[in-house]
Amino acid sequence: MSALHLIEGGARKKVRPATMSLREAVELDSTRLSFSSGSGPLDLLLGGGFRTAEMVEVFGASGTGKTQLALQSAVSAASAGFSCAYVDAEGQFRPERLSSICESRGHDPAQVLPRVYCIRAEDTKQQIAAISMIDQNEKLDDCRMVIVDTVSKNFTLEYSGSKMVVSRQTMLGTYLNRLARNAYRHDRAVILLNRVASVGLDAEAREVGIGGDTLRHFVQRALYLQRRGERVYASLPDEGVHDEVRLRITGRGIE
């Protein structure tokens, strides 16, 4: 697969101005789109789904459905007629799984899949460059969703160890700042899949998203997925709300 796998594109769209009045900002906010997560309970938890001009972190351990959620969200954007850029830092992007989710949800893969583009990011340099690649290719002018899977992987690999913490967080913060600004200017919903680390001891141990406060500073919401037995539970721990929704992973994705 080439660095940028493109199939078809769309018409050029306007870029939001960097400076505007408060009135213009309010009017602009009313035009934002919201894409379904593909799960009714999750949409309710998120207040309607993934909104454009916002970044949402989705963190959890392996097997909690993060990638399933990302793929079905990509289907939501693509089935609405927009393109979606999937920045793959894990090397796990599977077009066949995307196709099966399309079919199971009543969409024609031949119409949806050409709107989902994969950008392989094998290191931080490629991951950062992906932002410009999306902007500069005219076939992605109608891109309204960007998915990064997984946002922290390349940074933790290249800046590993306690001595590199400052450099790692600085580079991650610089990247997230560019990504957040891009999401706003181009009216894109950004979904950041993230791994977890365990903090605390024994019964007091808890899972937190890698990147900590640096990442949380830039996202509008952090969605936590946790598996307990055969079920997956989703919550928004940073919002002080203890409600959680119960989900299950099926052939249709995460529901």
Angle between helices 66-79 and 95-104 (to 10 degrees): 60
How does residue 6 score in pLDDT terms, banded at 50, 70 and 90?
very low
Task: Provide the β-strand partners of residue 37.
Answer: none
pLDDT of residue 116: 96
Rounded CA Rg of the chain = 18
Proportion of the chain above pLDDT 90, given as a percent: 74
**83, two tokens:** 């393109």
What is the arithmetic mean of pLDDT over 140-152? Answer: 96
pLDDT of residue 201: 63
Domains of the chain (ranges, CATH numbers): 32-254 (3.40.50.300)
CA distance 142 to 182: 14
Determine the Cα angle at 117 with ends 170 and 93, to 5°.
75
Helical (H) or strand (E) element with 29: helix 22-29
* Residue range 85-137, pLDDT digits in tens: 999 999 989 999 999 999 999 999 999 999 999 999 999 999 999 999 999 98
What is the arithmetic mean of pLDDT over 216-240? Answer: 92
